[in-house]
Amino acid sequence: MSNKKTLAFYAASGCGGCSQSLMLSPSLAAMLEGVDIAFWATQGADLTSDDISGFDDKGIDVLIYAGPLHDESSIDTAKLLRRKAKRIVSYGACAHLGGLCGLTNVYPGAQLRALSKTDGEGFVQPLSAVIDVDYILPGCPPPEAMVTRMVEELFLSDDVPEIGTVFASSKGVCAECGREHVRNPLTAIRRFHTDPPDPSVCLIDQGYICLGPVTRGGCEAVCLRSNRPCTGCAGPVAGVLDQGGAILHALASLVSFSGDGNEEKEHQVLDSIPDVVGTAYKYSAASSLLKKRVNDGK
């Protein structure tokens, strides 16, 4: 009998990016040498609930779960998988936070049902809202460095990672960015497509909205290296519950005009933040304190 760990990969739905990020990891070959594959749901054989039920309870050593939960069926499957797996990794932004699909929660029900990715009630939830999750690998899709860390700690090391481990930095993206801080007060919100930034200076210091301060690092600030702001795909830094609330709080604290009587100006700057939900909660709407839009009857 093989003494290898049993690995399963399950993608609830989604764009396929999580599966690709795992398959393209340079450490994949080493990982596969040390495991027996129970199933690989997006690339392997057809898989039904009956198939999953056929596994012994706790018969799968590690299950990597990607994709959001969006209906009763996906919730039932997640619960079934929880029974079958000793350890579950919440892999990628959709499983971790609800991901971009979570933005559908802010629409009224009729519009939700028109979105083909969210059939049924269309209420998107992260995996941890339904079952206990042992580990988290953030990112949309998870960057190579984080995937490598997960593989090494989970499959190539003799030590078992502590339950609750997030295979990312506990610090923010800012710690990896390297842009110069000029500490300018925030007096206007700028949009980078109409008003390109200085590539060497902190985007927030230039007036752009960047979620770097409130987002877990470990990605080597990949988006900022492309002169794009961090959009928060790795979720909130350790200790922060609501990523969107945290960035809005941070921005509010930076708005400043010299002299007295400028409260109105400060409000104007904050009111000018466009698409607050899509900007501050792009990936985390489903796991935020906002939860979902309530139909107000209007």
Partner 1 sequence: MASNVIALIPHFDEVVLTDNNKLAARVAIPQTGDGFSSYMRGRLAEDLPLYVQRLDTHCAVSQHLAAVSALDRCYGASPPEKAVRIRRALAYAGVYYHHLEQLFLSRPSGDVGIAGLVTTDETLAPTDIFETLGRARDVIDILGGRGITPECGIAGGVTKGPTDDELPRAKDISSHLLEFALQAEKGFRGSGAIWVTEHDLSVPAYSLGTVNDVAEASLYDGALRIVDPEGTETAVGGTKEILPILLAWKEDLPLRVGPLARLNVGSGASTPQAKALQKYLFDALGEPPIDRVAAGHWAMVIELVESAELLVSALTTLETGDSVINSALNDPCEGIAAIEGASGTLLHHYVIDEQGIVQEARIVSPESLRATEVNAALSSAISDGASGVTEGVIEQIVSVIGSYQPAYVPSAAFPLRITLHDKGGKVAKEWRRP
Sheet with 135-137, side-by-side order of all strands:
35-40, 5-11, 60-66, 85-91, 135-137
**Residue from 176, 290, 173, 171 nearest 241 by CA:** 290
Window contacting partner 1 (CB under 8 A); options: 96-104, 130-138, 159-167, 181-189: 96-104
Size of residue set near partner 1 by CB under 8 A: 53
Q: Which residues contact 98 (CB under 8 A, 6 or more apart)?
A: 68, 105, 124, 125, 126, 283, 284, 285, 286, 287
Supply the DSSP string of 97-123, one letter for each residue. H-TGGGGGGGS-HHHHHTSTTS-TT--
Residue 46 or 56: the one with the smaller Cβ distance to partner 1 is 46
Q: Which of 196, 238, 241, 289 binds partner 1 (CB under 8 A)?
A: 196
Cis-peptide into 126, omega within 30 deg: no
- Contact positions with partner 1 (CB under 8 A) in 263-282: 274-275, 278-279, 282
- Relative to beta strand 85-91, strand 35-40 is unpaired
Window contacting partner 1 (CB under 8 A); options: 177-185, 227-235, 236-244, 251-259: 227-235
Should residue 295 be labelled a site residue for partner 1 when binding is judged by CB under 8 A? no
Quick check: 68 and 94 in contact, CB under 8 A?
Answer: yes
**140-159 mask for partner 1 (x: CB under 8 A)?**
xx--x---------------
| Rg of the Cα atoms in the chain | 21
Residue 164 or 274: the one with the smaller Cβ distance to partner 1 is 274
Should residue 46 be labelled a site residue for partner 1 when binding is judged by CB under 8 A? yes
Least distance to partner 1, CB of residue 135, Å? 21
Least distance to partner 1, CB of residue 164, Å? 27
d(CA 99, CA 110): 21
Q: Which of 57, 76, 114, 185 binds partner 1 (CB under 8 A)?
A: 114
Should residue 85 be labelled a site residue for partner 1 when binding is judged by CB under 8 A? no
Quick check: 251 and 259 in contact, CB under 8 A?
Answer: no
Binding site for partner 1 (CB under 8 A): 10-11, 13-17, 19-21, 23-24, 26, 28-29, 41-44, 46-48, 100, 103-104, 107, 111, 114-117, 140-141, 144, 191-196, 199, 222-223, 225-228, 231, 274-275, 278-279, 282
